[in-house]
Amino acid sequence: MADALTVIPAAVLRNLSDKLYEKRKNAALDVEGIVKQLASNGEHHKITAVINLLTNEFTYSSQVNQRKGGLIGLAAVTVGLTSEAAQHLEQIVPPVLNSFSDQDSKVRYHACEALYNIAKVVRGDFIIFFNQIFNALCKLSADSDGEVQSAAHLLDRLVKDIVTESDQFSIEEFIPLLRERMNVLNPFVRQFLVGWITVLDSVPDIDMLGFLPDFLDGLFNMLSDSSHEIRQQADSALSEFLQEIKNSPSVDYGRMAEILVQRAGAPDEFTRLTAITWINEFVKLSGDQLVPYYAVILAAILPCISDKEEKIRVVARDTNEELLAIKADLAEAFDVEAVLSIARRCSFSDLGKVARQISSEWEATRIEALHWISTLLNRYRTEVLQFLDDIFDTLVKALSDPSDAVVLLVLDVHACIAKDPQHFRQLVVFLVHNFRVDNSLLEKRGALIIRRLCVLLNAERVYRELSTILEGESDLDFASLMVQALNLILLTSWELSEIRDLLKQSLVNPAGKDLYVSLYASWCHSPMAILSLCLLAQTYQHASVVIHSLGEEDINTKFLVQLDKLIRLLETPTFTCLRLQLLEPGRHIWLFKTLYGLLMLLPQQSPAFKILKTRLKAVPSYPFNGEQSKRTLPGNPYQFLHHTEDGNITVDGGNSHNGINFAARLQQFKQMQHQHHVHWKTQALSRKISTSLPKDPQRQEEPRLSDVATSRSSKRGSG
């Protein structure tokens, strides 16, 4: 201190703390000259004393003007030292940097000015303080004072120039500093950071691309900034980096992919589009390297396929197709379970809000997710089937999806799984279970589901399995409803035309007989289903016997509704053969008896009665008598069956009618109908007891399931 006071005149020190800028400036020029003389004499200990004086007595002073004078004095010392300034920088720079956080804006401004002058002198030697200077400039870029901001911008440009020409700059030390600040929301700081990223990326010797994962998320965060200029700068920087990635032989795709996946779900539309575009490029550039990240990438792509923005949808679909085309090897860390889990979640209601997921706008996502499950089954069947328990129940529940396209794809996946016999059985059991617990599924989607499975898995196989399950069904109301649905599908769907043709040969073809007997067991749940089966299989005499076996309890509203449907079905192409057989009354006596039997069951004023009566009137006249019904007519493929008084069935002649034991079939039908009668009486008694009990006036009686089912059936029939 004493050395400094002897070197610098008191008047100079007094002017250095004057409130007038001109006096401080002149004093600084004096200090510059003094330091220059000391440097030429090699008296560096005195220069050190001068710096300490300016630091302790001026820059750290409580007086604003003294602090200003200290800053301009330190800059003057540096100018006076010129080439020898480097050895004193560790004394000069810290007090200047400290002044950047001064409460007085004028002091902060002078600090910028001082550091600017110091940097111009020392240039590259200045780099050792870069991190501290960068931190200070980052704060000043958002300074509340406009003049300070302007001064900081000038200093920032100079520092950038110095860094770009320096070979001492350490990008490794700088990146953590940059990463810490990338999520700052202040627009001025964001502009400052993007500016530095762009400048450093332009330096050939600095590998910013290698550190891109460290600040990539921050750049994407800026894409949703309220300032158009910041969004544009961030987008420009990202576009430049993406171009560099395309031209680079080595890129860390994995770390960046994780960031992009998060940004692909951003609320901001532009951010989502940019993220999905990057993912698209990554998949095209290096799909194999991304194998370990397939699951997370798929989780980002699938929702974007249903994005409200068309551009995003287009890129997402393209990316999805690229991924599907890549055949990943399990040895390359391809995680089948993870990918399957993502596809399952996106297929159904686990992704995002359930309300959004099941809405029609997400249909495209669910479809593509199901394509993934199907693809995984085809490529990695063994591995996928290990996780079947995790997806099977969900796949069955997906049959309730509001989209027909989704349901058809779900069925395709089911069919792929059900190629194995044990899985086929499991599928049909699950399907029947879901129909049982959700009657609306059977009503709304039953026909679509059954028909599609018949196409995919062989109609006869599907119907045989369903019949086996329904034969032992304990819920008789459901069994009857299910059989009626299956029977209607059998009679009307083109997918089951081969089964119908086979059943029409039941009396002459062993395969047809076997199918007839197989279906008969479960069709016994519904008298009308049995009659339909008999008419289709041309077992007319047995149909007539079944009609005569019906009692009063069988002829109810439900039965008449089903009978009405059957009469109308007799007018469809399915029963063309039957109608043509009416042209030969002598050959098909039992067909006439059956049709007249049906006619007698119908109310005379019903439309169905009029339809059937009109049809029978169109038949050529032919005299019938008892003897004619007891003999076999020429060309008849089977002998007539006779209904005896005790209800048994006997056969005339030696033909066994392809081995069908009609007596056993009739007994089977009667036993099943007896179970239904007992069940119906039990329900009726239960209803009667419940209605006779005293009711709580405060509590409304809940409707019974059986009543609801009956009401629903009646409404459908009347419709």
630-654 tens-digit pLDDT:
444 443 333 444 434 333 444 433 3
Predicted confidence (pLDDT) per residue in 168-227, tens digit: 889 999 999 999 999 899 999 999 999 999 999 999 888 999 999 999 999 999 999 999
pLDDT at 573 over 70: yes
C-alpha to C-alpha distances, 581 to 126, 532, 709, nearest whole angstrom = 108, 16, 38
Q: What are the residues facing 650 on neighbouring strands?
A: 642
Instruction: Supply the pLDDT for residue 350.
Output: 43
Instruction: Supply the pLDDT for residue 176.
Output: 93
- Closest by CA to 345, choosing from 361, 357, 327, 329, is 357
Q: What is the spatial distance between Cα 485 and Cα 101, in angstroms, rounded to a whole number?
A: 82
- Characterise 658 by phi-psi region: left (phi > 0), alpha (psi -120 to 50), beta (else): left
Categorize the per-residue pLDDT at 404 as very low, low, confident or very high, splitting at 50, 70 and 90.
confident
The three-state secondary structure class of 8 is: coil
Task: Judge contact between 645 and 546, C-beta under 8 A.
Answer: no
Categorize the per-residue pLDDT at 532 as very low, low, confident or very high, splitting at 50, 70 and 90.
very high
Q: What is the spatial distance between Cα 335 and Cα 338, in angstroms, rounded to a whole number?
A: 5
Burial tier of 103 (Cβ tally within 10 Å: 0-12, 13-18, 19+) = exposed
Predicted confidence (pLDDT) per residue in 331-364, tens digit: 677 888 888 888 888 766 443 333 333 344 688 8
pLDDT at 506 over 80: yes
Q: What is the spatial distance between Cα 280 and Cα 315, in angstroms, rounded to a whole number?
A: 7
Predicted confidence (pLDDT) per residue in 562-571, tens digit: 999 999 999 9
pLDDT at 627 over 70: no
Instruction: Supply the pLDDT for residue 543.
Output: 96
Task: Judge contact between 276 and 300, C-beta under 8 A.
Answer: yes
Q: At 98, list the tokens.
A: 């400290």
- Characterise 672 by phi-psi region: left (phi > 0), alpha (psi -120 to 50), beta (else): alpha
pLDDT at 84 over 90: no
Task: Judge contact between 499 and 461, C-beta under 8 A.
Answer: no
Instruction: Supply the pLDDT for residue 4.
Output: 64
pLDDT at 661 over 80: yes
Instruction: Supply the pLDDT for residue 39.
Output: 87
Full DSSP string of 395-458? HHHGGG-S-HHHHHHHHHHHHHHTTSHHHHHHHHHHHHHHHHH-HHHHHHHHHHHHHHHHHHHT
| Chain position carrying tokens 């999806």 | 401
Task: Judge contact between 142 and 96, C-beta under 8 A.
Answer: no
Q: How far apart are the first and last CA of the chain?
A: 109
**Residues 6+ away with beta carbon under 8 Å from 409:** 367, 370, 371, 374
What pTM, to 2 d.p., does this model score?
0.74
Whole-number average pLDDT of the chain: 85
Once rounded to an integer, what is the mean pLDDT over residues 611-615? 94
- Closest by CA to 57, choosing from 6, 13, 117, is 13
Burial tier of 518 (Cβ tally within 10 Å: 0-12, 13-18, 19+) = middle
Q: Which of 55-59, 323-327, 510-514 has the lowest mean pLDDT?
A: 323-327
pLDDT at 701 over 60: no
Three-state secondary structure of 305-330 = CCCCCHHHHHHHHHHHHHHHHCCCCH
Predicted confidence (pLDDT) per residue in 365-390, tens digit: 888 988 998 888 888 888 888 888 87
Largest CA-CA distance found in the chain, in angstroms, rounded: 152
CA 47 to mean position of chain CA atoms: 71
- Number of separate helices (H) and strands (E) present in the chain: 37, 2
Count the neighbouring beta carbons within 10 Å of the beta carbon of residue 543: 25
Q: At 59, list the tokens.
A: 């820059």
- Characterise 634 by phi-psi region: left (phi > 0), alpha (psi -120 to 50), beta (else): beta
Rounded percentage of the chain residues whose pLDDT exceeds 70: 88
Instruction: Supply the pLDDT for residue 439.
Output: 86
Strands 641-643 and 649-651: antiparallel
Q: What is the spatial distance between Cα 36 and Cα 33, in angstroms, rounded to a whole number?
A: 5
The three-state secondary structure class of 75 is: helix
Once rounded to an integer, what is the mean pLDDT over residues 675-680? 89
Task: Judge contact between 372 and 298, C-beta under 8 A.
Answer: yes
